[in-house]
Amino acid sequence: MSTRIKETRQQALEILKSKYGYDQFRFQQEDIVQTLVNGKDALVLMPTGGGKSLCYQIPSLIRDGVGIVISPLIALMQDQVNALSALGIRAAFLNSTLDHYERIKVEQQLLNNQLDLLYISPERLNTTSFLSLLNRSTIALFAIDEAHCVSQWGHDFRSDYMQLQQLHERFPNVPRIALTATADQRTRNEIVQQLGLQSARVFLHSFDRPNIFYRISEGESNRDRLWQFIQANHLLDAGIIYCLSRKRVDTIADWLSKKGCVALPYHAGMSTKQRAINQHRFLVEEAVVIVATIAFGMGIDKPDVRYVAHLCLPKTIEAYYQETGRAGRDGQPANAWLAYGMQDVISMRQMGQQSDGNENHKLNLHQKLESMLGLCEQVTCRRQTLLAYFDETRDQPCGHCDTCINPPPTWDATEAARMALSCVYRTGQRFGVSYLVDVLIGKPHDRIEHNGHDKISTWNIGNELSAAEWRSLYRQLLVYSYVESDPDLHGGLKLTQLAKPLLSGGETLMLRKVEPRIKKSGLKTARTAPEVADQPLFNALRALRKSIADEDSIPPYVIFHDKTLVEMVSVQPTSLTEMASISGVGDKKLDKYGAEFLGVIRDHHANL
């Protein structure tokens, strides 16, 4: 190892300790830092909470000039800059929230080399005026965050990302790092192609988030099941709940508020100001629940989100993985809970068919949705399937998902499926599930009698199954494409080519049995607070942290993470020197907060 490499490695470790308060790097962070320090490009795929930001922040402090961070997250830039400022790092942002004088000030800081990091949106970076500004600046590196946004095959495409290849053309000697937590092989290939990263070193970390417990369930009364889940596990925790529509977001937030939760809505139909207020409350307060459309959450650094719940079916496994990854960023146990029904399947398929994209794009959407449905319906370890989607192999079941803890029973549904398919055919392939189930169980009403369907061969032949079991069967037939929903018939079902061999007796079909109603005792719980030996001291430290955070109007975790407070309780330092050895206590935070936290520890001892 050359002398220069040894020196930069030591410099990186010193920054890690002095600025961030950590003694060693995690995962592949050190190699990524060295790659950028040496002027080389990197493509980094690391799960949410894996510490991607350190990979470009530390090289920006080592190399001459400013690190330019391209991020789609205008609403969160202020929070990111606040967190860096608390570490003593010179950071700023340029976006539409700044007035003319604030923008001029930041631009002058950039030109005077008075910044370590500058956050900017891809839309602003692509302007002629900003590119001209960069030409007159000293640039340490370019960090392209959420790099999957460049891929039209991904789940969050942003057209302005397509223009970022010009960075390499304009600044060929400036290293670039592209980072994402969610990208299958096809998306990774397009990131490389669109950004011109063919020579970049690729760092692919495990996608596994072992602290997250995955639970996916199908059935009716999703809202009631959500409340059972929250009551059993997370009444005093921060969480995120995703819904498909703005109206549903407002309804669920209002409903949870009436039950005593601090539940705030977040969607594009709200004013920018109100969204910002709700997001700020979620970040700075404890036990706040955000009910949102998928527009919320990218880049959220809040470490203590204890659960993410879906009341809608994600379009892709990438979206599901990214959204659930917002839980448990601190490494503590967390829950990912999803409830879906037949209407979700129908709605998502129709949205894909009605997409404005070309046929290849529609086929891609269809394939990704089928993969997501397969994850929902499987009877084996969910984590194995989730990781396999990202080309990662896990030899053994995880033991930490619903299908591992309570393997779902299966049954030979061949004959029942033939009855269900025959009923679709006999009624003319134009009726929805509720109507078909009524025919099968012989439930008379005027519409059935008017159509004469109380006289056909499938009338009242299905009394061995309940209405709920027939609905579950139809949902699975829809998932496995034995039937499809016709939007021209308002959701009426019709047979597909796959139905023929099943109807003719040439195929056997094993399906999941319908799930019973969830009981509280059947839920896998996640701890709602860290386990500490001295809970009163931990609570006192948290109270001090909250008081300081409220006074400075910053999130509590910007001061210290829970993990750092837990270590304070364990070590119980008696001096600033001992406090400096605590993980997460850097020089700046030691100077600013150390004495106050030591005072709480001393007072606690004095009162014992």
Distance separating alpha carbons of residues 253 and 290, to the nearest angstrom? 8
The H or E element spanning position 107 is helix 100-111
Helices 3-15 and 29-37, axial angle in degrees (round to 10): 120
Listed in sequence order, the DSSP H helices in 139-215 are: 166-170, 185-195
Distance separating alpha carbons of residues 21 and 18, to the nearest angstrom? 6
Averaged pLDDT, 270-278: 91
Distance separating alpha carbons of residues 234 and 526, to the nearest angstrom? 8
Are 432 and 488 in contact by the 8 Å Cβ rule? The answer is no
Confidence of residue 378 (pLDDT cuts 50, 70, 90): confident
Over the stretch 488-536, which tens digit does the pLDDT of each residue have? 666 689 999 999 999 988 889 988 887 544 444 334 444 455 667 788 9
Q: Which residues contact 79 (CB under 8 A, 6 or more apart)?
A: 283, 301, 555
Question: 3-204 with 212-405: one CATH topology?
Answer: yes
* Nearest one of 23, 21, 62, 84 to 591, comparing CA atoms: 21
Over the stretch 182-201, which tens digit does the pLDDT of each residue have? 888 888 999 999 999 999 99
- Whole-model pTM? 0.80
The fold of 535-606 is DNA polymerase; domain 1 (1.10.150)
**Where are the strands (E) in 11-94, listed by range?**
42-45, 66-70, 91-94
Q: What angle do CA 143, 205, 332 make, to 5 degrees?
A: 100
Instruction: Kindly state the tokens that stand for 253.
Output: 């937030």
pLDDT of 520 reads: 40
Is residue 340 pLDDT above 50, yes or no? yes
β-bridge partners, 92 = 118
Confidence of residue 76 (pLDDT cuts 50, 70, 90): confident
pLDDT of 27 reads: 82
pLDDT of 441 reads: 95
Percent helix, strand, coil in the chain (nearest 5)?
A: 50, 15, 35
Q: Which CATH architecture has domain 3-204?
A: 3-Layer(aba) Sandwich (3.40)
Indicate the residue type of 175: P
Average pLDDT of the residues of the chain: 88
Strand 305-310 versus strand 334-340 pairing type: parallel
Listed in sequence order, the DSSP H helices in 312-358 are: 317-324, 342-353
Are 70 and 90 in contact by the 8 Å Cβ rule? The answer is no
Domain residue ranges of the chain, discontinuous segments joined by +: 3-204, 212-405, 410-514, 535-606
Higher pLDDT, 358 or 416: 416
Over the stretch 585-602, which tens digit does the pLDDT of each residue have? 999 999 999 999 999 999
Are 47 and 207 in contact by the 8 Å Cβ rule? The answer is yes
Averaged pLDDT, 81-96: 92
The H or E element spanning position 570 is helix 562-571
β-bridge partners, 178 = 43, 144
Confidence of residue 400 (pLDDT cuts 50, 70, 90): very high
Distance separating alpha carbons of residues 90 and 285, to the nearest angstrom? 26
Burial of 580 (0-12, 13-18, 19+ CB in 10 A): middle
Our separate counts of H helices and E strands in the chain read: 27, 17
The fold of 410-514 is Arc Repressor Mutant, subunit A (1.10.10)
Averaged pLDDT, 388-412: 91
212-405 is a CATH 3.30.70.2740 domain = no
Over the stretch 297-330, which tens digit does the pLDDT of each residue have? 776 778 899 999 999 889 889 889 989 999 998 8
Question: Max alpha carbon distance in the chain (Å)?
Answer: 89
